[in-house]
């Protein structure tokens, strides 16, 4: 076999990919390691101009989002989107959704049922593609909460991108854990106990990460640090709810 073809084996291609992935002085791996183990430090390093050794905040966020989309596809889970049936009956905005759907279809249940499949596909794609909207919603809140820190708006955006990159990676771990429980004979995320346990673990992990990150990046200390951490953690949850509603509006308007 020619040497060139030997280089195209699965093992060689995998090795080439790993070398490419860890190339340029290992910027990606170095950035991921710093993101996961030193909350807030990577944002501070970027704002301070120490950028050459690390992946940029936007590419790192996009990488985390791509990983999250891949894990969702493998586990058949949809964290940020809900089917039309859920919007019609199980959400706080369900009365508005029913009015909008009735206005469009005139109460014809057959037409709504046929439309639901089209809507669900669009909502799933939009929810995966538009995660950046949550970052953009969270950034002004950082500017308000830490207005006395003297940071430029772009610095808050850098922090938000790194934070949401961490959150997406954390959710990947949660989805894998739920899938492992499902393969072991459990119900996965369909189990209320598993769902509550994973949600609680995500909340606590996110809160702990935020507490460390705001100290490292903003220099927040004492009681204000705790209060800001609680406020920001709660805001992340509210933004997720608002995002699901926004995905409904976008999907409904484009299908």
pTM of the model: 0.85
Per-residue pLDDT tens for 65-93?
999 999 988 888 788 888 899 999 988 99
Phi-psi region of 188 (alpha: psi -120 to 50; beta: other; left: phi over 0): left
Per-residue pLDDT tens for 170-196?
999 888 888 887 777 776 666 667 667
Q: In the predicted model, is pLDDT for residue 245 greater than 80?
A: yes
Per-residue pLDDT tens for 105-147?
987 889 999 999 999 999 999 998 999 999 999 999 999 999 9
Q: What is the pLDDT of residue 247?
A: 95
- Would you give the distance in Å from CA 237 to the centre of its chain? 12
Q: What is the pLDDT of residue 27?
A: 84
Q: What is the pLDDT of residue 3?
A: 43
Q: List Cα–Cα distances, 14 to 6, 9, 20, 25, 187, in angstroms.
A: 13, 8, 10, 19, 34
Q: What is the pLDDT of residue 11?
A: 64
Per-residue pLDDT tens for 218-230?
999 999 999 999 9
CA 45/CA 231 separation, integer angstroms: 25
Question: Contact, 53 vs 30, CB < 8 A?
Answer: yes
Percentage of residues of the chain with pLDDT beyond 90: 59
Ranking 7-21, 47-61, 223-237, 238-252 by mean pLDDT, the lowest is 7-21
Q: What is the pLDDT of residue 66?
A: 93
The vertex-12 CA angle with 11 and 18, nearest 5°, equals 90
CA 251/CA 166 separation, integer angstroms: 27
Question: Which positions ≥6 away from 34 have C-beta within 8 Å?
Answer: 41, 42, 45, 54
- Chain mean pLDDT for the chain: 87
Question: Which of the pair, 148 or 185, is modelled with greater confidence?
Answer: 148
Please name which of 162, 168, 167 lies closest in space to residue 67, comparing C-alpha atoms. 168
Question: Which of the pair, 173 or 15, is modelled with greater confidence?
Answer: 173
Q: How many CA atoms lie within 13 A of 7 on its CB side?
A: 5
3-state DSSP of 99-141: HHHHHHHCCCHHHHHHHHHHHHHHHHHHHHHCCHHHHHHHHHH
Per-residue pLDDT band at 101 (split at 50, 70, 90): very high
Q: Domains of the chain: which residue ranges?
A: 28-254
């Amino acid at each position: 076999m020619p040497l060139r073809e030997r280089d195209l084996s699965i093992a060689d291609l995998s090795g080439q990919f790993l070398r490419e992935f860890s190339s340029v002085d290992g910027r990606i791996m170095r950035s991921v390691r710093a993101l996961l183990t030193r909350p807030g430090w990577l944002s501070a390093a970027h704002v301070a101009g120490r950028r050459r050794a690390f992946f940029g905040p936007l590419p790192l966020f996009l990488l985390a989002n791509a990983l999250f989309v891949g894990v969702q596809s493998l586990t058949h889970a949809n964290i940020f989107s809900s089917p039309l049936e859920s919007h019609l009956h199980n959400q706080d905005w369900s009365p508005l959704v029913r009015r909008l759907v009735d206005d469009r279809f005139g109460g014809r249940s057959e037409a709504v049922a046929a439309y639901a499949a089209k809507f669900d596909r669009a909502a799933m794609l939009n929810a995966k593609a538009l995660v950046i909207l949550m970052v953009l919603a969270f950034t002004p809140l950082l500017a308000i909460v830490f207005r006395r820190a003297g940071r430029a708006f772009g610095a808050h955006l850098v922090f938000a991108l790194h934070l949401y990159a961490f959150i997406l990676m954390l959710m990947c771990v949660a989805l894998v854990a739920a899938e492992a429980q499902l393969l072991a004979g459990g119900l996965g995320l369909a189990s209320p106990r598993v769902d509550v346990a994973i949600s609680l673990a995500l909340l606590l992990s996110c809160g702990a990460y935020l507490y460390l990150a705001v100290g490292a990046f903003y220099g927040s200390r004492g009681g204000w640090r705790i209060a800001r951490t609680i406020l920001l953690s709660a805001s992340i949850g509210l933004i997720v709810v608002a995002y699901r509603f926004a995905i409904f509006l976008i999907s409904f308007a484009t299908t």
